[in-house]
Amino acid sequence: MKPLNNTTLKEARLHMGLRQKDMGLILGMRQGPYSKIETGYTGRKPTKQHTIAIFILEYLYSEGLLQKMIDLIKTQNKLSLYCD
C-alpha cells in the first residue's frame, strides 16, 4: 500500500464521488480540518491512517457498500445526540 500525498488523497475522494464533508464524517472530523489535510494547508499531510482508510473506503466503494456505510454513520451520529 503506497502512502498518499495531498493530491492522491483528493483524487481518491473524487473517484468515489465523495464531498470533503463526507470524508470528514467518515474519518471523524469536520470538513475544515479535512480540507487542510487535502490541500496541504500549513504543511499538513495525509497520515498512514488516512492511507488505510482510503484503502478500505475504495473496497467498500467497489462493492457498492460505501453509501450504506455513510448512511449508517449519519444515523449513529443522530442517535448519539440524544444519548449525551
Domains of the chain (ranges, CATH numbers): 6-83 (1.10.260)
The pTM of the full predicted model, rounded to 2 decimals, is 0.85
For 30-84, the pLDDT digits (tens) are: 999 999 999 999 899 999 999 999 999 999 999 999 999 999 999 988 877 666 5
Residues listed for the chain = 84
What burial class does residue 44 get, using C-beta atoms within 10 Å of its C-beta: 0-12 exposed, 13-18 middle, 19+ buried? middle
SS3 content of the chain, % helix, strand, coil (to 5): 75, 0, 25
The confidence score (pLDDT) of residue 42 equals: 87
Written as nine digits, the cell of 19 is: 464531498
